[in-house]
Amino acid sequence: MQLLTNALDFINSQDAVDLFYYFWFFLVFDFSRYVLADTFFLMVYFFKKKKNRPVRVDARLRLFKENPLISIIVPGKNEGRYIPELAKSLNRQTYKNIETIIVDDGSDDNTFKILRKLKNEGKIDSIFRNDVRGGKASAANLALMYSNGKYVVHLDADTHLKEDSVEQIIIPFYMDSSIGAVGGDLRVKNIYANLATSLQSIDYMKSISTGRVVNSQLGILRIISGAFGAFRKDVLDQIKGWDVGPGLDGDLTLKIRKLGLKVKHEPEAVCYTSVPDSFIKLIKQRYRWDRSLVRFRLRKHSDLLSFKNRNFNIFNFLTVVDNLLFNMVMNFKWWIYIFYIIFLNPKFIAIIFVINYLLYFSTNVIEFILATKLYGKTMRFQEYMLIIFLPLMPLYHGIFLRLIRTYAHIMEIIHRSSFEDKWNPWKVSKVVKKQRF
C-alpha cells in the first residue's frame, strides 16, 4: 500500500515528458502494439466476421458439396501413446473425407506397435516408418509424398481436435482462393498440470490466439503452426515441402507468402495441444523458438527485406519487420531501458518497477478480456479460471521469457548454435551447418 501511494505520488510529481522518459518502453512498444493495436484490429475482426457470415456459410456449403479428400499428416518420434486419442478425435470429425497418414520417425519405443494396431482396426489410414530418425521436416515430407488429398493438414502427435476443426480450417480456402495456408487455433490441453502450464495457457490465449488473429488481419501473419496447420497440396508441392528446421513452420509460411499467397489464422479451428509441463522444458522450448527467429528472418529470408527484390511485397516486408522489431530489437531495447532507468534515477527503481508492473498487469487484463471475447462459444470454464494467474503474468512475460529470449538471440548470433540442436538428428545438422546461410 505504501509503495502504491508512493507510486501515485511519484506520478503526480512528474510532468508528462518526464513520465514518458520513465515509461517510454511500455508506452511505445507494449501499450501501442498490444493494447491499442490489438483492440482495434480485434474490433475490425469481429466486425468483418459478422459481415462475412453469409460468405462463410456459402463457403462451407461449397466445401461439403465438393467434398475434397483432406490428408491429415502426423510426423513424430516416440509419440505413439498420444495417437489413439488423436485418431479418436479425427474419427469424430464433422468433415468425413479425410485420410490419416502417420509417420513414425525412428521411434525406439512401442510407437510402431500402437500404430499398427490402430491401422489394423481401421482407425488410421497409412503408416510410414523411418528406421533411423530423419527429423521433423523429412518426416513431414515423407507423409506429403504419399498424401492424396487436395489439402494437407499438418498435426502434432500430442494434439487432438475439436469435432468441427477440420471443416473450420478448410473453410477459409473456399472464402478466398488466394489463401495458401491456414493456421488453426492452439489451445492448451494440460492447463492445470502445474503453474508452468497455466501461465503458458494465458500466453496461448493472448499472443497465439489474439496475436495471430491481429497479424492475420494485418496480413502479416508470420507462422502457421505445425501443431495444426492446413495447406493447399499444390502449394506444398510447388515449394517442395518443408525445409530442415528448427523454425520450419515459420520458414514454410514465408515460402508460401513469397509465392504471393495469403496465409490466414482461423480462430474457430480449435486444436488442443500439450505444452511443456515443467519450467525446464519450457525454457528449452522457448530457447529453440527464439533462436530460429534470427536464423530464418535474418539469414535465410533476408531477401524479403530488400527493396531490390523483384517479388518485393510490403506485407512480407512488414511481416519480417514486425517480427524482428517486436522480438529482437525490442528485446535489446528493453535492456537499454533497464540500464537507462538504473542510470537515470536509481532511487526510484522500486517505484518505477511497481508502476511498470501495474501497467503491464492492466495490459494483461485487457488482453485476457479480448481473448475471452475472441474465444466466444469455444471458451471453456477452465480457461475462465485462469484469471487467478493474471497477476503473475507481468513477471512471466516481462522477465522470465525475456531472459530466455535475450540469451537465445545472443547465442544464435554468436554461435549459430541452432544447427547443433537436438531438434535435428546429428547427421542433418552436420550437413546443414556447412551450407552458406
Partner 1 sequence: MNIFIIDEKKITQIGELSVVSISLKEIKDNPPLESEIFIVNCENKKYAKAACEAIRRDTNPAIYLKPIILINSNENFTINNIADGYFTIEQTDALNNSFFPASYGSINQRIEEIQGFKGVKDTNIALKVLRYIMTRKMSLTPFRGSGNRFGLYYPNIDIFMRSKDETIYNTLDFLEDQNLLSQEFYEKVHLCIHCNSSFLNFMEVCPHCGSADLEDDDLVHHFDCAHVAPAKNFKQNGSLICPKCDKELKGLGVDYDKPATVFRCNSCRHTSQNPDISTTCFHCSTVTEPEDLQKRKIKKYSITALGENAAIHGIDQMFIQILDEKIKILPYQAFKILLSSEIERIRRYDISKSSVILFQITQSEQFYAQLGKRTRQIFSEIGDILNSVLRTCDITTTINEVTFISLLPETDSTGADVALRRLKEKFSVLIESNFEKQIEINTSSISLNKDQDVESVLTGVIENATAN
Q: By CB under 8 A, name the binding residues for partner 1.
A: 106, 116, 126-132, 134-135, 137-142, 145-146, 240-244, 248, 427-428, 430-432, 435
Rounded least distance, CB 265 to partner 1, Å:
25
SS3 299: helix
The smaller minimum CB distance to partner 1, of residues 135 and 180, is found at: 135
Q: Minimum Å distance from CB 118 to partner 1? A: 13
Hey, what amino acid is at 1? M
**Residues 6 or more apart whose Cβ sits within 8 Å of residue 307:** none
- Pick 164 or 249: Cβ nearer partner 1: 249
Closest approach of partner 1 to the CB of residue 130, in Å: 4
Q: List the one residue out of 80, 127, 72 whose CA is nearest residue 271.
A: 72
> Does an H or E element contain 191, and which?
none
Helices (H), ranges, 26-82:
38-51, 53-66
Separation of alpha carbons 306 and 290, rounded Å: 23
Comparing CB distances to partner 1, the nearer of 377 and 434 is: 434
Select 60 or 154, whichever has its Cβ closest to partner 1: 154
What's the sign of the alpha-carbon dihedral 247, 135, 425, 227? positive
Closer residue to partner 1, CB minimum distance, 139 or 205: 139
Q: Hey, which bits of 240-322 come out as E strands? A: 262-273
- Between 238 and 406, name the residue whose CB sits nearer to partner 1: 238
Q: How far is the CB of 434 from partner 1 (least distance, A)?
A: 9
User: Smallest distance from the beta carbon of 428 to partner 1, in angstroms?
Assistant: 5
CA-based end-to-end distance of the chain:
54
| Choice between 39 and 238, CB closer to partner 1 | 238
Grid coordinates representing 392 are: 503473475
Least Å distance, CB 132 to partner 1, is 5
How many other CB atoms are there within 10 angstroms of residue 332's CB atom?
13
Shortest distance in whole angstroms from residue 116 CB to partner 1? 7
> What does the alpha-carbon distance between residue 418 and residue 292 come to, in Å, rounded to a whole number?
7
Bridge partner list, 229: 154, 183
Closer CB to partner 1, residue 339 or residue 426? 426
Calpha distance 171→111 (Å, rounded):
33
Closest approach of partner 1 to the CB of residue 326, in Å = 29
Residue 368 CA to residue 210 CA, distance in Å, equals 9
Question: In angstroms, rounded to a whole number, what is the distance separating the alpha carbons of residues 304 and 363?
Answer: 32
CA distances from 319 to 70, 266, 293, 308, 396 (A): 29, 18, 12, 17, 25
